[in-house]
């Protein structure tokens, strides 16, 4: 799909940056004229992916998180969240509802939420090399627009 516009951001994997990433995604998505509901879905999905990079990817260091957003032809928003952290040994298992290595405060629902709020979700990961989460959302044409 042809790319119409994009942004790339990079920030340290610190929880203070989660809100920024979410707001940046919403600000970029605004050009595609989403509904409030679509915008909410986008913010939630970005928040889950970025939170994962912050809490799971770098156990002992403060690594780098990349966020890339692309507006594609066909009213499609593509979101990439990438880290160069520890990676996921079994992606299929990690994506199952309620699977978590994160302890008590995690419910293991992040990937499930991303999958249900977006129209496409692809996770690539290599142990010791990092994880990239690519999501796509179709921003539907508005009646009367």
Ligand X SMILES: Nc1ncnc2c1ncn2[C@@H]1O[C@H](COP(=O)(O)OP(=O)(O)OP(=O)(O)O)[C@@H](O)[C@H]1O
Residue closer to ligand X by CB (options 32, 134) is 134
Four-CA torsion 21, 7, 81, 84, nearest 10 degrees: -110
- The catalytic position among 18, 22, 38, 48 is 48
N-term to C-term CA, the chain: 23
User: 78 catalytic, yes or no?
Assistant: no
| Residues paired with residue 53 on neighbouring β-strands, in sequence order | none
| Residues paired with residue 77 on neighbouring β-strands, in sequence order | 71, 137
Residue of this chain nearest to Mg ion (CB atom): 110
User: 106 catalytic, yes or no?
Assistant: yes
Contacts of 29 (CB under 8 A, 6+ apart): 38, 39, 42, 69, 77, 139
Sole binder of ligand X in the list 17, 29, 45, 110 (CB under 6 A): 110
To the nearest whole angstrom, how small is the minimum distance from the Cβ of residue 75 to ligand X? Answer: 27
Q: Mask 73-102, x = binds ligand X (CB under 6 A)?
A: ----------x-xx-x-----x----xxxx
By CB under 6 A, is residue 64 in contact with ligand X? no
By CB under 6 A, is residue 136 in contact with ligand X? no
Angstrom distance (rounded) from CA 29 to CA 67: 13
Residue closer to Mg ion by CB (options 56, 137) is 56
The residues that are catalytic are 48, 52, 106
């Amino acid at each position: 799909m042809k790319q119409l516009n994009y942004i790339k951001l990079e920030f340290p994997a610190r929880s203070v940056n989660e809100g920024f990433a979410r707001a940046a995604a919403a600000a970029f998505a605004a050009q595609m004229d989403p509904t409030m509901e679509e915008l909410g879905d986008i913010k939630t999905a970005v928040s889950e992916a970025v939170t994962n990079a912050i809490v799971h990817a770098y156990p002992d260091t403060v690594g780098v998180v990349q966020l890339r957003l692309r507006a594609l032809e066909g009213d499609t928003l593509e979101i990439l969240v990438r880290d160069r952290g520890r990676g996921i040994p079994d992606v299929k298992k990690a994506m199952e509802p309620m699977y978590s290595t994160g302890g008590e405060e995690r419910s293991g629902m992040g990937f499930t939420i991303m999958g249900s709020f977006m129209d496409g979700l692809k996770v690539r990961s290599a142990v010791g090399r990092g994880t990239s989460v690519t999501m796509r959302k179709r921003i539907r044409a508005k009646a009367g627009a």
